[in-house]
Amino acid sequence: MSKTALLVMDVQKGIVDGLGDQRTNYLEHVKQAVNFAHQAEIPVMFVVVRFRKGYPELNPNNKMFASILERGDNFSMEETNPLTNPLIEPSGSDLVISKKRVSAFAGSDLEMLLNARGIFELVLCGVSTSGVVLSTLRYAADKDYRLKVLSDCCADLDDEVHKILLEKVFPRQAEVMSSTDWAKTLK
């Protein structure tokens, strides 16, 4: 059983659509990373933001999530809506983990699932670099997980913040590499 898991975070329709021109290229990289993981028999866990109908979990004091309430259903993350983009549908062995906040660990059972499988290395990718990837990386580092970040499988609307995180911040707590470089380590 693999002690590594690939976390594909917030790669869901409403969020990925916000990437605009980056969308297609980004999804191809993530799809490739998922294929690499499947070939190496590494568990893939899709972490998605999900709320009950009407978003009762959202507090208007939370600046980031309050904007969802203001936008209404045009950016819906209700449990009844599609989870991911069809290009990267979870396969039969993949797990889908629902969360209620930015970090993959906040409001989810991710840590329990990782512990149950004896997983101590996480390979992170997702949208956005300054949101879910940063929050998850910080929490996981504090919990002593070994961490890798797939640079070409992370995206952010702010290119400068994305670059600083990947080049200066993340390397302090994780190994940052491309998905193809990661695949080479799996052989």
Write out pLDDT tens, residues 158-171. Answer: 999 999 999 999 99
Q: pTM for the whole thing?
A: 0.91
Architecture of the domain delimited by 4-47+83-94+102-185: 3-Layer(aba) Sandwich (3.40)
Mean per-residue pLDDT of the chain: 89
Burial of 32 (0-12, 13-18, 19+ CB in 10 A): middle
- Write down the pLDDT at residue 74: 46
Q: Is the pLDDT of residue 60 over 90?
A: no
Average pLDDT over residues 15-43: 93
Read off the pLDDT of residues 91-141 as tens digits, 9 standing for 90 and up: 889 999 999 989 999 989 999 999 999 999 999 999 999 999 999 999 999
pLDDT tier for residue 83 given thresholds of 50, 70 and 90: low
Per the rule left: phi > 0, alpha: psi between -120 and 50, beta: everything else, 10 is: left
To the nearest whole percent, how much of the chain has pLDDT over 90? 65
Q: Which of 21-25, 45-49, 167-171 has the highest mean pLDDT?
A: 167-171
